[in-house]
Amino acid sequence: MRIKVYHDVNGTVRITKTIEQGSDMGKESSIFSDLKAGSVAEIEINAEVQHRAYIKESPILTEGN
């Protein structure tokens, strides 16, 4: 499963999951599909995955390092 975080122009943050194998491969859906408007949800991401995502989003860290 691949997790994607989108920060839309209007300030909305969306977190989706994409299936990477099996009959549903490529299917993307919201992690919080049952979340009611105005509610708060919490997600915990493995630190190693979080670090790789940070490097991917930060070109300064990836150039020459």
pLDDT in tens, 3-61: 788 888 888 878 888 888 888 888 888 777 777 778 877 777 665 655 666 666 655 54
pLDDT greater than 50 at residue 62:
no
What is the reported pLDDT for 15?
A: 82
Tell me the pLDDT band of 65, cut-offs 50, 70 and 90: very low
What is the Cα–Cα distance from 8 to 16, expressed in whole angstroms? 13
| Residue keyed to tokens 């194998």 | 21
HEC readout, 38-65: CCCCCCCCCHHHHHHHHHHHCHHHHCCC
